[in-house]
Amino acid sequence: MGKHQAASVSWTEISAAIRANPKRSVGLQMGTASATVSTLPDETAVAWISGGGWTEDASFTVTDPVSFSLWVRDPLYRIATPAIRRSLEMEEAAFLLHGSEAAWKQHNGRTRSWIRKHLEEDLRLRAGGGDPAPDAWEAIRTTKRAALLLDYVCVVRSLRVALWWPDLKAVTVVPLSGLGTSRPPVTQLNCLSGRMLIGPAGEMSVPAAAWPSLLLKASSEIVWAPPASAPSIGSNTVAQIHDQIQLLLGAGQPHVRTGGRTAIWNRLMWLTLEASLNGKDVQELADP
């Protein structure tokens, strides 16, 4: 699996390479040319991020966390035939499956609430050539098991993704923390369409520390919420949550102690994400 290396290649560069290829309509081996090879993407403007220039890559539907990992890391996956894509997905799922024990130890899977049985079941299905789970992105919004699979993939592959639900006026980011001092850029996914978002200059991600500024450009109706993979509030009292917020802010930083328990907990989750986006090695909070 070492051949799948991270690549900072913009869609603009990929598009130019496709146009310059005189054999772009020639099939791979005995197959026919994929429509995504011979046809440039029909991008759709994103109306809910102000300032203009953001579009969807309408040439590709990202179906689940395995597909997402490959879309970000392997430019060839984006333009491959369906058969080759499925083969790459099987390889990626097998890599994630066979590395689960080492990843559990390295990234403190217990604290992150990873359940190895669930991870292995879901990844084994994909490694065996099974179809992605239906409505995977909706499940990731509402179901902890599905969200933790995405959390696992992102932590292992050092990725970060903003999940936008424009129909529900909501956005979240996975993972909240757990990437150490590394600051991988944040890619954007429209979970309603399953399409990745492309920036005004053809960029496929936003620098980690700049993502909150992108959120400010979104419609004022869109609200950030903690992902379903985040630790639950459990029995934490208001005082305990305030104490954790103060630890993140630092002793010299003022902290307004107002709001209900849920609102304060969500603020703690946001501050955890913000610290991680800025390269702080934030310790993952364990579920109570």
Helix (H) or strand (E) holding 56: strand 55-56
Phi-psi region of 200 (alpha: psi -120 to 50; beta: other; left: phi over 0): alpha
Query: In 3-state terms, what secondary structure has residue 36?
Result: helix
AA identity, residue 60: F
Share of the chain above pLDDT 90, in %: 62
Query: In 3-state terms, what secondary structure has residue 159?
Result: coil
Most confident residue range from 25-39, 116-130, 273-287: 116-130
Half-sphere exposure of 177 (CA within 13 A, CB side): 24
Q: What is the pLDDT of residue 42?
A: 45
Q: What is the pLDDT of residue 285?
A: 58
pLDDT tier at 16, thresholds 50, 70, 90: low
pLDDT tier at 213, thresholds 50, 70, 90: very high
Q: How far is CA 243 from CA 144, 255, 270, in A?
A: 26, 10, 15
pTM metric for this prediction? 0.82
Share of the chain above pLDDT 70, in %: 83
* Mean local confidence (pLDDT), 66-72: 97
Task: Tell me which DSSP letter residue 176 carries.
Answer: S
Q: What is the pLDDT of residue 253?
A: 75
Q: What is the pLDDT of residue 74?
A: 95
Query: In 3-state terms, what secondary structure has residue 81?
Result: coil
pLDDT tier at 181, thresholds 50, 70, 90: confident
pLDDT tier at 17, thresholds 50, 70, 90: low
pLDDT tier at 174, thresholds 50, 70, 90: very high
Given a cut of 70, is residue 34 above it in pLDDT?
Answer: no
Given a cut of 50, is residue 27 above it in pLDDT?
Answer: no
Kindly state the tokens that stand for 216. Answer: 């400010």
Mean pLDDT of the chain: 85
> Which of residues 284 and 146 earns the better pLDDT score?
146
pLDDT tier at 284, thresholds 50, 70, 90: low
pLDDT tier at 227, thresholds 50, 70, 90: very high
